[in-house]
């Protein structure tokens, strides 16, 4: 990604790492767990041919700042992370932009479009259904497949302790079990994900992220639903045929409970679409944004 430049953007005293490249309409990319902006490495150059692409490390991940979690679970609430991203884009000169987001980043994106109406033109979410739907429609199969949601949300320092004992094993197991058979992450990229999670502050932040998802975020999402707040912008939903989302849900039907204009399709992949089938992701995203 030599054609991209790195920026440490100050947002209300918090440093958010971003890479920026290309020209044209601004496009924000947000990564999922347990990764960083590097997960977009295969799609960034192609998207940058038509768009000014900004790929960030979410608060607590990659090389962005990692403030200490709080007991009220607000520091890593999606509302706070969404505000970070709006702040980054404004600091770079963009008041309105499109968004493509994966996994945890897509949950941040959902809150962003609700809290900051008019900022996002088009939204693409990759291999995710809303947190509220997951937690309000749990069964044994989903709870087992998403065991890391509930382990990382456990309090008392339990997940932080055990992940910290062997972060490399945790990262490898978490990623590899969600890949489609026959696919892999390049060794040097996996090593970078491990590097980031070798920092205890990243482990603490990511656990706080999931803890917020089961508490503060759920309250915010229930409040939005009760108020009739919906995503009123065109929304593209992509998911992996072999992912948990693809097997456990009807993603388009679920998202239509939360958004007005939804379209999308399954792709022949597991969970990590931009790393497993980047060409298909680029084709879908470019067609949607056009």
**Cβ-Cβ contacts under 8 Å for 125 (sequence gap 6 or more):** 101, 102, 106, 109, 110, 235, 236, 237, 238, 255
A 10 A CB-CB count for 282 gives 18
**Cβ-Cβ contacts under 8 Å for 148 (sequence gap 6 or more):** 174, 210
Q: What's the CA gap between 74 and 47, in Å, rounded?
A: 33
CB-CB contact of 31 with 40 (8 Å): yes
Q: What's the CA gap between 254 and 61, in Å, rounded?
A: 28
Q: Which of 57, 84, 98, 103 is catalytic?
A: 103
Q: Confirm whether 103 is a catalytic residue.
A: yes
Q: Single out the residue of 64, 118, 75 nearest to residue 209, CA to CA.
A: 75
Strand order across the beta sheet in which 120-126 lies: 5-11, 14-22, 51-56, 25-30, 97-102, 120-126, 235-240, 262-267
Q: Confirm whether 271 is a catalytic residue.
A: yes
Q: Helix, strand, or coil here: 9? A: strand
Q: What's the CA gap between 286 and 222, in Å, rounded?
A: 33
- Quick check: bond before 34 cis, omega within 30? yes
Residues noted as catalytic = 103, 271
């Amino acid at each position: 990604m030599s054609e991209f430049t790195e920026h440490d953007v100050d947002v209300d005293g918090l440093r958010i790492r971003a890479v920026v490249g290309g020209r044209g309409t601004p496009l924000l990319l947000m990564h999922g767990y347990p990764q960083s902006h590097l997960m977009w490495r295969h799609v960034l150059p192609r998207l940058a041919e038509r768009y000014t692409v900004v790929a960030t490390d979410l608060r607590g991940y990659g090389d962005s700042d990692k403030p200490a979690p709080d007991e009220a679970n607000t520091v890593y609430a999606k509302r706070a992370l969404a505000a970070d991203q709006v702040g980054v884009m404004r600091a770079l000169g963009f008041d309105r932009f499109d968004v493509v987001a994966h996994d945890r980043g897509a949950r941040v994106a959902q809150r962003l479009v609700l809290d900051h109406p008019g900022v996002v033109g088009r939204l693409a979410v990759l291999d995710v259904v809303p947190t509220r739907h997951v937690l309000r429609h749990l069964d044994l199969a989903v709870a087992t497949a998403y065991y890391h949601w509930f382990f990382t949300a456990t309090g008392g320092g339990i997940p932080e302790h055990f992940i910290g004992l062997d972060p490399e094993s945790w990262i490898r197991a978490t990623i590899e079990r969600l890949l489609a058979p026959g696919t892999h992450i390049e060794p040097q990229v996996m090593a970078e994900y491990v590097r980031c999670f070798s920092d205890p502050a990243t482990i603490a932040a990511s656990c706080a992220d999931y803890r917020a998802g089961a508490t503060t975020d759920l309250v915010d999402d229930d409040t939005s639903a009760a108020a009739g707040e919906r995503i009123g912008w065109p929304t593209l939903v992509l998911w992996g045929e072999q992912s948990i989302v693809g097997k456990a849900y009807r993603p388009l039907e679920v998202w239509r409970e939360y958004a007005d204009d939804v379209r999308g399709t399954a792709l022949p992949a597991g969970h990590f679409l931009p790393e497993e089938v980047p060409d298909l992701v680029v084709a879908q995203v470019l067609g949607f944004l056009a």
